[in-house]
Structure 1
Amino acid sequence: MPNPYLDSVLNLLLHYKTMAEKAMKQVPEEKLFWQHNQDSNSIATIVKHMWGNMRSRWTDFLASDGEKEWRERDAEFDNDLKDRGEVLEKWEEGWRITFEALRPLTASDLEKTVYIRNRKHTVVDAINTQLAHYASHIGQIIYLSKMLAEGPWESLSIPKRKSKT
């Protein structure tokens, strides 16, 4: 039976995923790894962090703590991916795990409790937290992509000064 909340979450996640992909596609491969300084993240590093987070949070989502013992969060911030293919491989794997965890959820699952770092969350709160987390990182990806793109930027929504068209 359709669930408006879950349908909305899935649609928003797919929308954010698609926007980030359109943005990253406009960035030359070598610029996916560019960092403003040592304290900032490259697009590739943001993708790697999202991948690690998605794997940890959504693997056995309803049955185990969302912060897995095997997660190496600090390593997610090493700018060590080698090429666009590796970046996109991590990107797709993270999203596959996310959608595979969310698609089968039902309305009754939303009332359940899950744990993240041994802290109790409702399933709705856990989903909302991740939705906001991913949206913030996708905003970073889009911002960096706009700065690093070569050639005219292909708008991801309504281009500037084209609202009436």
Structure 2
Amino acid sequence: MTPFLESILFRFVAIKSLGDRTFQQMTSDETFRWTPDSESNCIGVLIQHLHGNMLSRWTDFLTSDGNKEWRDRDGEFTFRPERTREDYLRLWEEGWRVTLNTIGGLKNEDLEKEVTVRGQPLSVVDALHRQLSHYSYHVGQIVVLAKIQKSA
């Protein structure tokens, strides 16, 4: 594994770890459903979105478009009141397992390849950076929502 692949994998693991540490402090179903207002997504919805994105982007990463036909992006943003803390944590772990296994399986020569997302070509390196920033953004939202809840 190249220093770049080691570094990028380390960064993805660090983002997951930040979310994991946040979830350790969230012990009830309600903490995953809470929103500060009607315009905001709850932590559970953010997890649903990350899960859908991760499965879509990283399944057959090098050989198929990152926006799979089976993905229901709009549905990811639908609040599902029946879901529990355990349900959300299962989605979180499944998404990260696919993500980290795919990145961990990349070879040096894969860094010179192109992938497509929504029909647009991207270098593998750019796709990795793009997803790292996307996941960092949403995990940051999760951390802020958890902190707001704790102080409320």
Q: TM-score, normalised by structure 1?
A: 0.87
- Deviation beyond 2 Å, 4+ runs, structure 1: 36-39
Deviation at 1:150, TM superposition (A): 6.8
Residue 77 of structure 1 is matched in structure 2 by 77
Matched positions, count: 150
The separation in 2 between residues aligned to 1:25 and 1:42, in whole angstroms, is 17
> Would the aligned equivalents of 1:27 and 1:148 in 2 still touch at CA under 8 Å?
no
Say which one has the larger Rg: 1
Matches within 5 A, 1:56-135: 56-80=56-80, 82-135=83-136
Residue 155 of structure 1 is matched in structure 2 by none
Give the CA RMSD over aligned residues.
Answer: 1.4
Residue 44 of structure 1 is matched in structure 2 by 44
Q: Deviations over 1:39-80 (max 9, x none)?
A: 211011111100000000000000000000000000000111
The separation in 1 between residues aligned to 2:20 and 2:149, in whole angstroms, is 14
Q: TM-score, normalised by structure 2?
A: 0.94
Alignment of 1:55 with 2:21, yes or no, is: no
Percent of residue pairs bearing the same amino acid type: 42
More helix by percentage: 2
The separation in 1 between residues aligned to 2:61 and 2:39, in whole angstroms, is 31
The separation in 1 between residues aligned to 2:140 and 2:61, in whole angstroms, is 25
Deviates more, 1:19-28 or 1:2-11: 19-28
Look up the SS of the partner of 1:115 in the other structure.
Answer: strand
Deviates more, 1:42-51 or 1:21-30: 21-30
> Would the aligned equivalents of 2:35 and 2:145 in 1 still touch at CA under 8 Å?
no
Alignment of 1:35 with 2:35, yes or no, is: yes
Residue 13 of structure 2 is matched in structure 1 by 14
Stretches of structure 1 that go unaligned for 5 or more consecutive residues are 152-165
